[in-house]
Amino acid sequence: MGESEESSSTLFETVRGGLFALVVSVVGLILVHSMRSNLAGDYARARQKKDVYALPSPQQAIAMSLGYRSAMADLIFAHVLVDSGLHLQEHRKFDTLSWYLNTVIALDPKFRTPYQMADTLLTFQAGKVTLGDYNSARSIIETGMRELPFDQELYFTAGQFFAYLAAPRIAELAGPVQAEEWKLAGARALARSCELVGRNENIPYHCITAAKLFDAAGEQKAMQNFLQRVLAVSDDEEIRKLALGYMGRTLGDAERDEAKRKFGELDELRKKDLPFVGKNRYLLLPPRYDATQCVGYWGDSEPRCATNLRDWHSRHEPHPE
């Protein structure tokens, strides 16, 4: 009997404990269900809707880097890329993005990647993109062109952004006058990229596009000077034909023939002098001249006595009758 009573008591305790746990669970579920809607509303209201810039000014950030400026710039830019992705995922605009980018540039002005990605990060994000975003992107890119004046790809990217991607949107936000100014700035950037040496073989073909932008803006002299520079530095016969053809259609046959004559004479001089040297390298060298024949008042004015290509061109100019 003792064992039976002890077994019954243990079973009773187990059942009572199970019932108590069940009651507590049911009460908890009821409380969670009743409070969930209110908590969800509070959570929605408490969610972050505007970004807070968590860094000091760029000058103070330089001091805080303790000399490790490039490392700190890399760290901040990595945070910018991650945070940009999170903002896109949350369909929320990155309000302080330009501040972070300006801090990165202040820390490491020669850091190339922020300049290349500024247009995408600032103008292709969630939310309404404003005129200030486009102006910030342009300011950052122009800073990059000043800091990296021989970066062909950066100038090419800037020209495409200014003239093609940004200009139509600027026309909507600020009017056609501002849009034309952006197109002209894009043409200048594209023209500069055509003058630089790089690995992108397709860039020279965009030079004619830059000439068209100059022509559309009424910048005839700028277009003429630009096409002449393309003829001077390009060894590609196809590109030269395109440049000469466009010059003939827009400026006339006389201008085209004059440019063809001038640069044809330079090619002949190079072929006679140093045919194994490319045009770009040959432009850095003085033309061949005989110093013994250039002595005297009149001898120095002869084309064969020019000691640089600028003088050689000027002395080969045909004189009017």
pLDDT digits over 232-277, tens only? 666 666 777 777 776 777 766 667 666 666 666 677 777 777 777 7
- pLDDT, the chain, mean: 78
Q: What average pLDDT does the segment 311-319 reach?
A: 57
pLDDT the model gives residue 21: 79
Residue 301 predicted with pLDDT over 60: no
pLDDT the model gives residue 293: 63
- pLDDT confidence bin for 110, thresholds 50/70/90: very high
Higher-confidence residue of 185 and 245: namely 185
CB 189 within 8 A of CB 148: no
- pLDDT confidence bin for 139, thresholds 50/70/90: very high
Residue 5 predicted with pLDDT over 60: no
Burial 234-247 (b: 16+ CB within 10 A, else e): beeeebbebbbebb
Q: For 218, left (φ over 0), alpha (ψ -120 to 50), or beta?
A: left
Burial 6-31 (b: 16+ CB within 10 A, else e): eeeeeeeeeeeeeeeeeeeeeeeeee
pLDDT the model gives residue 23: 80
Q: Is the pTM of this model over 0.75?
A: no
pLDDT the model gives residue 218: 74
pLDDT the model gives residue 3: 56
Cα gap 318→321, rounded to integer Å? 9
pLDDT the model gives residue 142: 94
Cα gap 189→169, rounded to integer Å? 19
pLDDT the model gives residue 265: 67
pLDDT the model gives residue 320: 43
What CA–CA distances, in Å, run from 271 to 155, 238, 275, 276?
A: 32, 19, 4, 8
Give me the residue label for tokens 């397709």: 202
Judged by DSSP in three states, 197 sits in coil
Residue 52 predicted with pLDDT over 90: no
CA quadruple 70, 72, 78, 82: dihedral, nearest 10:
-160
- pLDDT confidence bin for 42, thresholds 50/70/90: low
Copy the structure tokens of residue 271: 């072929």
Residue 48 predicted with pLDDT over 60: no
- pLDDT confidence bin for 198, thresholds 50/70/90: low
